[in-house]
A and B are shown apart, each in its own frame.
Chain A
Amino acid sequence: MRDPRVESFAALLTGYSLGLREGQVVRIDAEESARPLVTELYRAALRRGALPYVQLRPAGLDEILLREGSEEQLAFISEGERVQTEQFDAWITLWSSSNTRALTRADPERRRIQLSAHYRMVNRRWERISAGELAWCGTLFPTNAHAQDAEMSLSEYEDFVFGACHVNRDQDPIEHWEAVSTELTARARALEGVRELRIVGPDTDLRVVVDGRPWLPSDGRHNMPDGEIFTSPVETGTEGEIYFAFPSIFQGREVEDVRLRFSEGRVVHAEASSGQDYLRALIGTDEGSAVLGEVAFGLNYEIDRFTRDILFDEKIGGTMHLALGGGFDEAGTRNKSDLHWDLICDLRRDGEVYADGELVWRAGSFITEPAMSGTGA
């Protein structure tokens, strides 16, 4: 049974996110449960004249390798993978886990070896993306495992995911996302020139210096759904305290009620109601992991709840998120770290944000302009 929303999703991803053109080679990576979307993506890519191929992987292999592989096997990247990385024009990653916690108990050191080899390949891809040689988009296909994390039934979760991507209605989703892109670009431009943000909310009063840093829109090219504007703060400027009401998750492990105090850009105090040791260990990862690499506004108002998946959570309309660790080159960062951990601060009820002393945001939305993406559509 073909779900028309999946067809619409595929048209959006190939037409808008990747902007596939005739003759372009596109690789579709997914776990086996994403097969319905893989099929529609393949067909949509064919219709655009592209040359699609699929890497559909069975679930449950990483845990075998992590348990039984030698270090050399864990770190292995095949020459074929390298060759493909240099040659494809577009690449789409579908997250569609059948068990989001399958690797939770794997040996962390062995996992680190595996991931660092993997990141070398990912970094090379990002070089090509930055150079404009490669289009990439990461998205999620709803499974029971993700629905379970979000505490929903699969069909409720499908409604949520397809709603957040705007593929569940008559309107052409491409038109919607083009409008979102225009709005986010305008919003990002409006923040250019701001020197300092002050975030005020429950147990929160934090100053983040963004002077001279470009604000960038995330408008559905690299993630779907999307809907945020972000920059990388000045490394030495963060001062004050912030409370994160949503659980903060890193590689499947949760830390609750995170409270951070910053001084001269660095975390000087960190506490949590659960997972405090893990929190402190992550902050201590390296020199850059106690410093912010990102500050962002979540502006997708069709994402209205926390679902334990950063793809959605960081875009919840009315939230801000701050990432500890590595920042973005295109946002002028100087902070380097192996960590990039997004922590989400809910500002929907009582939050206020001041830009150089002027109130610009209250109770989950900017006040200087009409509501942003989603609500007006």
Chain B
Amino acid sequence: MPDRLAKLADVLVGYSTAVRPGDVVRIEGHAPTTPLMRELYRAAVRAGGHPEALVIVDEAIEALLEEGSDDQLEWVPLDTRWNLEHGDVWIVLDGPENTKNLSGTDAAKMARRLKAREPYQQQYLERFARGEFRWVLCGFPTQASAQDAGMSVEEFEELIYGAAFLNEEDPVAAWESFGEELERVGSLLETKRELRVVAEDTDLTVGVAGRTWIRANGHSNLPDGEVFTGPIETSLDGTIRFSFPAMIRGRQAEDVVLRFEGGEVVEATARRGEEFLREMIGMDDGARRAGEFAFGLNRAVTEYTGSLLLDEKIGGTVHLALGRSVPGSGGTNESGLHWDMVCDLRRGGEVYADGELVYRDGAFLDGAG
């Protein structure tokens, strides 16, 4: 196991964030990730960087959301601010001890906290798009995430490490060759003006003309494997039903259905968590618009796990994020929110590009385009 952690650390430091001598490297993760943090720290030292590692204290966030005043909720800590404004590399490890620890918190307070962080979020993503800042979010298998996925932690480890290509002899080479596949999809989509997604209870058109499709091959997420863009903000029309529960910051809404008109959500329902959904969508104007539309393309991720980082990469799905668009994708939507929701197209789903069927049952058709 330590071998695999060291291998993962090498991918994150050597490939995902390409740490260079002199880089200030901030490594952050939940308590169960400390064995990986040590390997990352070592790898970053060997790469000539200046790492620091910090354990995320979930109980503090919980206390803040429970007891914080508006001023306290809106305050961004000095170290967080400095990292987002001036840091070189940021590695975040998602290895929760309890994925539902924030279930009981006040959604309005959560929205206030997220909203206050928007300028910093925007700034680091812009720095990333300009190549001044490198960051990666890495999934780490824990008992809690395995429990959500309905499997043992060892089974979940296999899933996550498999999806990160760590079972390959040379994971970096595997990511690079996977990049070629993403490139084919990206260059196909770049020639299209409008996509139409059709599935059960879903018929949605999305304008993408002139927008950039980003090939995500392990640089800012691990596991990774998607191609995404910022859709034209006023273009979305129709309805989409999300197959998997929509998760954000330890909270969720189940069986979400959104109806768009002129790019804006005009109707939002959920079988569970509808009030939370509405609170999030009501955060600001941008939260009612889509900031991202994406195809999940990682074939090593085949089943829903309740871990968004994996679920949005499932080969054969699309996802849409309400809120902030990602700098570099051409999207211009601004919001404190960025909430990804996944729609499974593997059984009967279709995508038309400028009227032509290009994708069916979770895969692009041979010769599409």
Which residues of A are interface residues toward B (Cβ below 8 A)?
A: 23, 25, 27, 32, 35, 38-39, 42-43, 46-47, 49, 51-61, 64-65, 68-70, 73, 76, 78-80, 83-84, 87-88
Q: Is B77 within 8 A of A70, CB to CB?
A: no
Q: Given A58-B37, A88-B78, does the pair A42, B63 have CB atoms closer than 8 Å?
A: yes
Measured CA separation A298–B83 after assembly (Å): 43
Residue B41 interfacial (CB < 8 Å): yes
- Contacting B67 at CB < 8 Å: which of A47, A59, A68, A83? A47
Give 7 pairs: A residue, B residue, CB < 8 Å, sorted on A.
A35-B57, A42-B64, A53-B80, A61-B53, A69-B45, A83-B78, A83-B82
- Contacting A53 at CB < 8 Å: which of B37, B67, B77? B77
CB distance from B117 to the nearest CB of A (A): 13
A68 CB contacts on chain B under 8 angstroms: 42, 45-46
CB distance from B31 to the nearest CB of A (A): 6
- Contacting A64 at CB < 8 Å: which of B41, B54, B69? B41
Q: Is B34 within 8 A of A51, CB to CB?
A: no
In the complex, which residue of chain B has the Cβ closest to the Cβ of A44?
B63
A58 CB contacts on chain B under 8 angstroms: 34, 37-38, 53, 55
Measured CA separation A70–B22 after assembly (Å): 11
CB distance from A83 to the nearest CB of B (A): 6
A64 CB contacts on chain B under 8 angstroms: 38, 41-42, 45
B69 CB contacts on chain A under 8 angstroms: 49
Residue B327 interfacial (CB < 8 Å): no
B42 CB contacts on chain A under 8 angstroms: 64, 68
A60 CB contacts on chain B under 8 angstroms: 38
Measured CA separation A53–B69 after assembly (Å): 15
B75 CB contacts on chain A under 8 angstroms: 51
Measured CA separation A64–B42 after assembly (Å): 6
Which residues of B are interface residues toward A (Cβ below 8 A)?
A: 24, 31, 34, 37-38, 41-42, 45-46, 48, 50, 52-55, 57, 59-60, 63-64, 67-69, 71-72, 75, 77-80, 82-83, 86-87
Interface centre among B60, B67, B79, B82 (most CB of A within 10 A): B60
A54 CB contacts on chain B under 8 angstroms: 54, 57, 60
A88 CB contacts on chain B under 8 angstroms: 78
CB distance from B236 to the nearest CB of A (A): 38
Measured CA separation A338–B123 after assembly (Å): 43
B57 CB contacts on chain A under 8 angstroms: 35, 38-39, 42, 54, 56
In the complex, which residue of chain A has the Cβ closest to the Cβ of B36?
A58
Q: Is B55 within 8 A of A32, CB to CB?
A: yes
Measured CA separation A87–B76 after assembly (Å): 13
CB distance from B2 to the nearest CB of A (A): 13
List the 9 closest pairs (A to B, CB-CB), nearest first: A53-B77, A80-B82, A58-B34, A39-B59, A56-B55, A42-B60, A43-B63, A76-B50, A84-B78
Q: Is B31 within 8 A of A35, CB to CB?
A: yes
- Contacting B45 at CB < 8 Å: which of A25, A38, A65? A65
Q: Is B50 within 8 A of A53, CB to CB?
A: no
Measured CA separation A79–B52 after assembly (Å): 13
A35 CB contacts on chain B under 8 angstroms: 31, 55, 57, 59
In the complex, which residue of chain B has the Cβ closest to the Cβ of A85?
B78
Q: Is B45 within 8 A of A73, CB to CB?
A: yes
CB distance from B13 to the nearest CB of A (A): 13
Measured CA separation A51–B48 after assembly (Å): 34
Measured CA separation A51–B77 after assembly (Å): 8
Measured CA separation A57–B79 after assembly (Å): 14
- Contacting A39 at CB < 8 Å: which of B46, B60, B72, B83? B60
Q: Is A79 within 8 A of B72, CB to CB?
A: no
Measured CA separation A47–B69 after assembly (Å): 9
Q: Given A46-B67, A47-B67, A64-B45, does the pair A80, B83 have CB atoms closer than 8 Å?
A: yes
CB distance from A312 to the nearest CB of B (A): 26
CB distance from A44 to the nearest CB of B (A): 10
Q: Given A46-B63, A46-B72, A83-B82, does the pair A56, B54 have CB atoms closer than 8 Å?
A: yes
Measured CA separation A88–B77 after assembly (Å): 10
In the complex, which residue of chain A has the Cβ closest to the Cβ of B46?
A68
CB distance from B44 to the nearest CB of A (A): 10
Measured CA separation A261–B83 after assembly (Å): 53
In the complex, which residue of chain A has the Cβ closest to the Cβ of B61?
A42
Measured CA separation A73–B68 after assembly (Å): 38
- Contacting A32 at CB < 8 Å: which of B34, B60, B80, B82? B34
Q: Given A46-B68, A80-B86, A87-B78, does the pair A55, B54 have CB atoms closer than 8 Å?
A: yes
CB distance from A120 to the nearest CB of B (A): 16
